[in-house]
Amino acid sequence: MQRDTLVFDIIRKELERQRHGIELIASENFTSLQVMQAMGNVMTNKYAEGYPGRRYYGGCEIVDQTEQLAIDRLKQIFNLEYANVQPHSGAQANAAVCLAVLQAGDDILGLDLSMGGHLTHGSAVNFSGKLYKPHFYGVIRETGYVDYEMLEAKAREVKPKMIICGASAYSRDWDYARIRKVADEVGALVMADIAHPAGLIAKGLLNDPFDHCHFVTSTTHKTLRGPRGGIIMMRKDFENPFGLTDTKGNIRMMSNLLDMAVFPGIQGGPLEHVIAAKAIAFGEILSEEYTVYAKQVISNAQAMAKAFVEKDYHIISNGTDNHLMLIDLRNKNISGKKAEQVLGVADITANKNMVPFDDKSAFVTSGVRFGVAALTTRGMKENDMQFVVNAIDTSLMNAGDEAILKKVKQQVNEYMAQFPLYPEMD
């Protein structure tokens, strides 16, 4: 076949875009070259429905090795009894847990999407809000912290089958023990979705959810810095408490029900090339180098938050424990939508985000979310955060001035040249 230069030229442009800009999308990161190389190889050719050692296709003995390695390394990172590395995404991981433990119409309780939660935690437009009966808790208006009293009151009122904790725009740590306590009281299971802070939890820099939550799910491409994908984990396997059975009517261990929920429940063939890349990323996470990285992520986020506060930006909860922060722009007279667009002109990539108790729609929003996982991978340190905040502030305060935005863009491009990205690709 002729080489498709049209597509490869576009890919090249994306590489240049990533190199030149300031990447602040909290859910993004830059994988290592070896993680990317593992994603583009012959394993993409292989069908491997089933699990290592018990597949529905011949010729799986080699891909079994990488999948087993990914499972073993993930278990080592978080000290687990069970890991499933096949979910194609975090949403699939959450869907599989729901399929394994819930019946259609069951009550679930999660953090409201408009308060920092996630689509798969019960949103009306997602399977989780369509198949199950969703209820929500929020954050405290004055402090921006999760309202645990509201969570407990809701749990006692609706007696959900599952309480979901975790968020996509929440900068504080979680009290998993408190959530488990009320869950036990009302007979609920607990699922923690740690997609955002997983890499920081891996290194003990945030509270450990595993002893308190029955299930823990994550993506692998945010702070974990692996390929795009999902995972499901349990520190301890257990017999399902709702008497749910497999197709033969047998009560099964949760590990078994979770495996069956991923395949054949919601997915077909696993992406063995991506699983090989997950194995590599998990190996990297076990290294001392990654420990240094994870600590730097938190230091950078705190330096960035401080610089924003000094410029009178309103960070929800007034700071951060993790890699991200959510900023309410209402005192700056610019919407999240406009901020995202203006920053884009200056080669600063971020996303508009609703803030708690927002008076604007999800398409406009009053807020913007910033995360530092990607910039930290590029080698930026605390003192670089001041440049980033200055560039953001200058852009937002001169939103209508093309000449100033062009100048900021030029400064951004020059600054980022100090932090080479994938030099091997030249």
Cβ proximity to ligand DSN: between 27 and 29 the closer is 27
- Which residue of the set 161, 203, 222, 235 is catalytic? 222
The mark string for 216-255 relative to ligand DSN (x by CB under 6 A, - otherwise) is: ----------------------------------------
91 φ/ψ angles, rounded to the nearest 5 degrees: -65, -40
Cβ proximity to ligand DSN: between 118 and 180 the closer is 118
Binders of ligand DSN in range 103-162 (CB under 6 A): 118
The C-alpha atoms of residue 296 and residue 289 are separated, in whole angstroms, by: 11
Binders of ligand DSN in range 166-185 (CB under 6 A): 168
Cβ proximity to ligand DSN: between 195 and 262 the closer is 195
- Which residue of the set 193, 321, 358, 384 is catalytic? 193
Amino acid at 165: C
Cβ proximity to ligand DSN: between 118 and 352 the closer is 118
Amino acid at 49: E
9 Cβ neighbours under 8 A, 6+ residues apart: none
189 φ/ψ angles, rounded to the nearest 5 degrees: -90, 160
Cβ proximity to ligand DSN: between 222 and 235 the closer is 222
Residue 222 known to be catalytic: yes
Cβ proximity to ligand DSN: between 193 and 259 the closer is 193
Among candidates 73, 74, 128, 119, which has minimal Cα distance to 96? 128
Least separation, in Å, of the C-beta of 177 and ligand DSN?
25
Least separation, in Å, of the C-beta of 281 and ligand DSN?
18
Least separation, in Å, of the C-beta of 236 and ligand DSN?
27
Q: What is the number of the residue whose Cβ is closest to ligand DSN?
A: 27
DSSP string, 386-408: HHHHHHHHHHHHTTT-HHHHHHH
The C-alpha atoms of residue 69 and residue 311 are separated, in whole angstroms, by: 47
Residue 31 known to be catalytic: no
Among 19, 27, 128, 412, binds ligand DSN (CB under 6 A): 27
Our finding on whether 377 is near ligand DSN (CB under 6 A) is no
Among candidates 51, 43, 126, 125, which has minimal Cα distance to 92? 126
Least separation, in Å, of the C-beta of 364 and ligand DSN?
18
Do 74 and 90 contact (CB within 8 A), yes or no?
no
299 φ/ψ angles, rounded to the nearest 5 degrees: -60, -40
Least separation, in Å, of the C-beta of 118 and ligand DSN?
6
191 φ/ψ angles, rounded to the nearest 5 degrees: -115, 125
Least separation, in Å, of the C-beta of 27 and ligand DSN?
3
- Which residue of the set 66, 120, 217, 219 is catalytic? 219
Residues binding ligand DSN: what is the number (CB under 6 A)?
Answer: 3
Among candidates 21, 422, 15, 371, which has minimal Cα distance to 199? 371
Least separation, in Å, of the C-beta of 91 and ligand DSN?
7
175 Cβ neighbours under 8 A, 6+ residues apart: 146, 148, 207
Residue 228 known to be catalytic: yes
Residue 49 known to be catalytic: yes
Amino acid at 43: M
- Which residue of the set 28, 46, 47, 360 is catalytic? 47
Cβ proximity to ligand DSN: between 66 and 366 the closer is 366
Do 66 and 276 contact (CB within 8 A), yes or no?
yes
Tokens 């993506």 sit at which residue?
A: 219
Q: What stretches of 32-147 show up as alpha helix (H) in DSSP? A: 33-39, 61-78, 90-101, 127-130
Kindly list the residues in this chain that would bind ligand DSN in the complex (CB under 6 A). 27, 118, 168
Q: Which residues belong to the active site?
A: 47, 49, 193, 219, 222, 228
